Structure 1
């Protein structure tokens, strides 16, 4: 499969045009992946535009690609959203990477009551930027036409408000309903929001608040999955239920 690169201005390109990769993308193409003149590559804008082209020239700081074909892909509906509680180490980052590869449309950092990791002050912007970088690289590897959006961190109160306008499924080992038995309608325009707690789980108070707002508690089998694993597993099941896989 051809190597894939991202360029924000790719959406303006037409067949026959030459698009120019610069900065980090040029370095990645020329020095890391070592593309060669005449090689076929793909370039996307992360918002549905997909270009196939051939490398016209390679320089350390500039790679030119002549566009051969252009296609456009509509944004998936319904959107899938992963609300990932902040976790210690790199467990939440592992979830971000895997969920992006599996096609999630939005990733929302959640400062849950039992989150050991805390994003405050300058650490918030740094954390969001880190998740954006991980998601962007995973999207390139997965050859995604649409990039996932990494939102600003939310509180439980924010999730309660969001529950009113979405199909919110809270992943909870004690949930009475298995995710595999939940009916999902591809024609339902509401976001499907999967909520994953931190290492210590979602507190009883948080579960009650989300349930009262209309969220549904669902379980994944009879075992307890890590916070890094639960979201991607649930997303895979949702993709299958929606007929995307």
Structure 2
């Protein structure tokens, strides 16, 4: 069984090597000690959420700190072809369910999308709170999945902003029930290959809201360079389409 994972702040593991003792404090340490009941002698992993992972043994568990002797410190490279889920805002926390599951399945970044037909609206103070909630959701999901990387939650985009992101991406795919070509065939035809010496490639997977992506948005995104793709023979919920696409894309692109 893999070790439980706890997150340190970005950069906290810099300079830490085998044999040294790292002290985790704050909320993560309290969670480890009071909720997970971690005690001295147990093995744990500490990661900074940006690829660095310390695997070691707890030497002391206090009320507000966890001291871990490092056995190994490693760095996990990010995939050469990165997947970004563009998730339309949806009611009933379906958008949060989508990004949670997609994080567990390996998504690299998520973009909240204020689509024309989105019932939920991020405005004013709500926008900042909602964005922070998404960050909390992906962090918790990454911890549950014992990932070394916490996916980036990018700023909320309207359709105009998304069009710009599509134009800048290596590939953008609109998951649409009226598409003629399957997602698998679209990805295989694209021949996305990164040899590690160049900048990583980025693929946007675009999921609409409950009412679907409007024809005007499909046209606008297509004009910016996006292509449409069919994900299976049935219409999936907004909370299901993204994670399903991550699974298929990860297989086709050799990420799994």
Cα distance in 1, alignment partners of residues 163 and 70 from structure 2:
46
Tell me what 2:3 maps to: 2
Cα distance in 2, alignment partners of residues 198 and 49 from structure 1:
35
Displacement after TM superposition at 1:185 (Å): 3.2
Secondary structure, in 3 states, of the residue corresponding to 2:201? coil
Regions of 4+ moved over 2 Å: none
Cα distance in 2, alignment partners of residues 165 and 134 from structure 1:
27
Cα distance in 2, alignment partners of residues 12 and 32 from structure 1:
29
Secondary structure, in 3 states, of the residue corresponding to 1:12? coil
Cα distance in 2, alignment partners of residues 221 and 112 from structure 1:
23
Matches within 5 A, 1:21-36: 21-36=24-39
* Number of residue equivalences: 245
Match of 1:110 among 94, 110, 113: 113
Displacement after TM superposition at 1:18 (Å): 1.3
> Contact conserved, 2:57 with 2:69, CA < 8 A, in 1?
yes
Matches within 5 A, 1:133-212: 133-166=136-169, 167-182=171-186, 183=188, 184-188=190-194, 189-212=200-223
Tell me what 2:102 maps to: 99
Could you give the per-residue CA deviations for residues 206-244 of structure 1, whole angstroms, max 9, x where no partner exists?
A: 000001111001111121100000000001000000112
Residues 182-191 or 91-100, more deviating: 182-191
Displacement after TM superposition at 1:75 (Å): 1.9
- State the TM-score, normalizing by the size of structure 2: 0.93
Displacement after TM superposition at 1:186 (Å): 4.3
Could you give the per-residue CA deviations for residues 146-195 of structure 1, whole angstroms, max 9, x where no partner exists?
A: 11000110011111111122200001111111112121434254311000
- Structure 2: where are the runs of 5+ without partners? 195-199
> Contact conserved, 1:30 with 1:59, CA < 8 A, in 2?
yes
> Contact conserved, 2:79 with 2:255, CA < 8 A, in 1?
no
Match of 2:131 among 111, 128, 131: 128
> Contact conserved, 1:109 with 1:153, CA < 8 A, in 2?
yes
Secondary structure, in 3 states, of the residue corresponding to 2:157? coil
Cα distance in 2, alignment partners of residues 77 and 185 from structure 1:
13
> Contact conserved, 1:43 with 1:50, CA < 8 A, in 2?
yes
Cα distance in 2, alignment partners of residues 178 and 240 from structure 1:
14
Q: Structure 1 residue 214 and structure 2 residue 220: aligned?
A: no
Secondary structure, in 3 states, of the residue corresponding to 2:177? coil
